[in-house]
Structure 1
Amino acid sequence: MESIHILALAILQGLTEFLPISSSAHLILLPTLAGWPDQGIAFDVALHLGTLIAVIAYFRITLVKMIRDWLQSIISRQLVGESRLAWAVLFGTIPVGLAGLALKEMAEEALRSPLIIAWSTIVFGLLLGYADIRGKQHRDEHTLTWRDVLFIGLAQAIALIPGTSRSGITMTAGLMIGLTRESAARFSFLLAIPVIILAGGLETFNLFGRIDPVDWKALILGVLVSALCAYICIHYLLKFLQYIGMLPFVIYRLVLGSFLFLWFL
């Protein structure tokens, strides 16, 4: 891969993984529109590893508490401290895990059409805007019930459709049940950790046995750049989300979806 391709894709992944605008759609569209060769599964896995490192690093203190209290809750057989949030993240991951195993091939092949991305970008962008306007925004992630977690988890499974945006659809679901913007975003980011681990682990397993040459320089650079961009994105999104709201992302999605229709129809 050329250096400009590596940097562009890594920056794109780092910024779009946690913004509600769909990283998968952008990673599909950029090489298509620019006429670049496909970057390959190994590089995609590397980029997701970078965003995983970023979210773990950013929430490291919270994650330590969640893991400690989760282990204590297993021993004591009752909820302890942050164990409720830890169980919520694990429980909310089950729907997308099952859907990913069942629909992986269809999601990777049949649903990667630019027109499907255009439709999902617009439709779920409008839904995000609706949830942001109508949501009561009076709760935080620590008040989630198991029904709430199931609702967000089922919404996350829809993100297998390229253009939906995993972070976008989980934030939408969170806003619909009354979470504040920051709380919906925080829970969405925590949900990303097991999802990226599962998806990346599965893709890494699929790479075993292949004899394709590995460009380690490209992979390492991709990991570092995507991690840095993702960390910055998380920090500033949480810092300013309450002030800017979801409208800028809704407008961006509508513009992008309309452009794709004009370009590919």
Structure 2
Amino acid sequence: MTLIQAILLGLIQGLTEFLPISSTAHLRIIPAILGWEDPGAAFTAIIQIGTLAAVMLYFRRDIAAILKSVVAGILKGRPLEEAESKMGWMIAAGTVPIVAFGLLFKHEIETTLRSLYWISGALIVLALVLSMAEWKIKKRLQEGRALKSMEEIGWKEALLIGLAQAVALIPGSSRSGTTITGGLLLNLSRESAARFSFLLSLPAVLAAGLFELYKTWDLILADQGNIVNLLVATLTAAVVGYLSIALLLSYLKEHTTSIFIAYRLAAGAALLLLLGGGSIQP
């Protein structure tokens, strides 16, 4: 991998990690179109630490309040007394499904499911599900019923959105896409669904990134170029990711996810055409 490739892949990761269009899909598709080698699941997981840093920086006050409340609740013997503490434990519970399925299907996630056919299918199918969720939200608003805020998220929402996050193990699904879709299906406002999506991603992304970093540490140290490329890609992902979070939250205050639905459908269809024509290999 060249330095230019590392920068571009970091840019792609930062831009697409939080938009519901799948960063993994783009990190797989764009190198294939450009004739580069697949950077691999390990590289993807490691540079996600950059976007993890972006989430932690953007939501630093929320995260600090949650951690402080969780610790205080444990010390007092009343772990669910405060709203912030309860949110922390709900995030932990919502992380269990992706950890369990990630360990169970680790080999398939890193091999078979990285096929561009799987990715194109995931782009299209999840676009249709997100479209259904938007239709449900639109109908609810037309009936004059309010949408749920972050403060109204309960255990049911946390666990079901956690299950939706596990679907993102299929490349092309999009972690933010599946969790935002899950939130909308559970009647959360678009902004609340996105905010909870980002907070929910923290434990899983951190665990996956550190695990892959540990597993490939010897390979990384074998070549100084590997270290430089990973650092550059990760830092690029962090900067661009921070801007992407701000952009998406601002956008969802006034707009639907229709633009992302259309993009997913177009990208999935274009990928199938390229595969069918033999322009790229699956």
Once the two structures are TM-superposed, the CA of residue 244 in structure 1 deviates from its matched residue by: 2.4
Structure 1 range deviating more: 125-134 or 168-177: 125-134
For the residues of structure 2 that align with 1:173 and 1:43, how far apart are their CA atoms?
Answer: 27
Query: In 1, are the aligned partners of 2:21 and 2:260 still within 8 Å (CA)?
Result: yes
Tell me the secondary structure at the aligned position of residue 26 of structure 1.
helix
| Residue 131 of structure 1, aligned match among 133, 146, 169 | 133
Shift of 1:207: 1.3
Q: Is the 8 A contact 1:14 1:51 kept in 2?
A: yes
Instruction: Sort the Cα spacing of 1:180 and 1:147 in 2 relative to 1 into closer, same or farther, 3 A.
Output: same
Deviates more, 1:170-179 or 1:133-142: 133-142
Q: Is the 8 A contact 2:24 2:44 kept in 1?
A: no
Establish whether residue 64 from structure 1 lines up as the match of residue 64 from structure 2: yes
Is the 2:70–2:85 contact (alpha carbons within 8 Å) kept by the matching residues of 1?
A: yes
Q: Deviations over 1:188-232 (max 9, x none)?
A: 000111111111122122114446424222122112211110000
> By how many angstroms is 1:261 displaced?
0.9
Cα contact 1:84–1:142 (8 A) shared by 2: no
- 5+ residue gaps, structure 1: none
Report SS of the residue matched to 2:63.
helix
- Within the candidate set 185, 202, 208, 1:193 is matched to 202
How many residue pairs are counted as aligned between the two chains? Answer: 265
Percent of residue pairs identical: 40
CA contact (8 A) 1:72 1:80 kept: no
- The runs of 5 or more residues in structure 2 that have no matched partner are 141-145, 277-282
Cα gap change, 1:202/1:121 in structure 2, threshold over 3 Å: closer, same or farther? same
Letter of the structure 2 residue corresponding to residue 24 of structure 1:
T
Q: In structure 2, what is the equivalent of residue 213 of structure 1? A: 223
Q: How far, CA to CA, are the matches of 1:100 and 1:19 in structure 2?
A: 22
Tell me which residue corresponds to 2:49: 49
Displacement after TM superposition at 1:242 (Å): 2.4
Contact 1:6 1:222 survives alignment (8 Å)? yes
Residues 1:229 and 2:231 aligned together: no
Partner of 1:238: 249
**Distance change in 2, residues 1:149/1:45 (3 Å):** closer
Partners of 2:45 and 2:209 within 8 A in 1 = yes
The equivalences for 1:51-200 within 5 A come to 51-76=51-76, 77=78, 78-135=80-137, 136=140, 138-200=147-209
- TM-score of the superposed pair, with normalisation by structure 2: 0.89
For the aligned residue pairs, the C-alpha RMSD in angstroms reads 1.6
Q: Aligned equivalents of 2:72 and 2:131: distance in 1?
A: 39
* 2:114 partner SS: coil
Displacement after TM superposition at 1:41 (Å):
5.8
Counterpart contact for 1:46–1:220, Cα < 8 Å: no
Q: Deviations over 1:41-95 (max 9, x none)?
A: 6643442111011000000011000000011121222421411111111110000
Conserved? CA contact 2:46–2:213, under 8 Å: no
- CA shift for structure 1 position 21: 0.5
Aligned residue number for residue 12 of structure 2: 12
